[in-house]
Amino acid sequence: MNSVSDRKNRPNAFADRIAGFDDPSMGDERERDVILRAYTLGAVVSTYVFFALGLIFAVLGAGLWSVLIVLGSIVTSGVISGYCKRENVDFSMAMARVSPRRLIVGNIVGAVFAIVWVGAIVFHMSEGYPLIDVGMGNQTMPSAPPSTYSIAIGAAFGFIIALTLMTISRVRKIKQARAEAAAAAYIEDED
pLDDT (0 to 100) of residue 152 = 66
DSSP code of residue 11 = T
CA 107 from centroid of its chain's CA atoms? 11
Instruction: Provide DSSP, 91-117.
Output: HHHHHHTS-HHHHHHHHHHHHHHHHHH
CB 162 within 8 A of CB 170: no
Q: Which pLDDT score is estimated for 136? A: 64
Euclidean distance between the first and final Cα of the chain, in Å? 40
Residue 110: how many other CB atoms lie within 10 Å: 16
> CB of 7 within 8 A of CB of 13?
yes
Residue 19 Cα to chain centre, angstroms: 19
| Residue 130, number of CB atoms within 10 A of its CB | 25
Give the list of residues 6+ apart from residue 72 with CB closer than 8 angstroms, or none: 50
* Residue 104 contacts residue 110 (beta carbons within 8 Å): no
Question: How do the pLDDT tens digits run along the chain, 191 residues long?
Answer: 444 444 455 678 888 888 888 888 888 888 888 888 898 888 888 888 888 888 888 888 877 778 888 788 778 888 888 888 888 888 877 777 778 888 788 878 888 888 888 888 888 877 778 888 877 655 444 455 556 567 667 777 777 787 778 778 777 777 777 777 777 777 776 66
Position 32 scores a pLDDT of 86
pTM, whole model, 2 decimals? 0.63
Considering only CA atoms, give the Rg of the chain: 22
Q: How far apart are CA 74 and CA 59, in angstroms?
A: 21
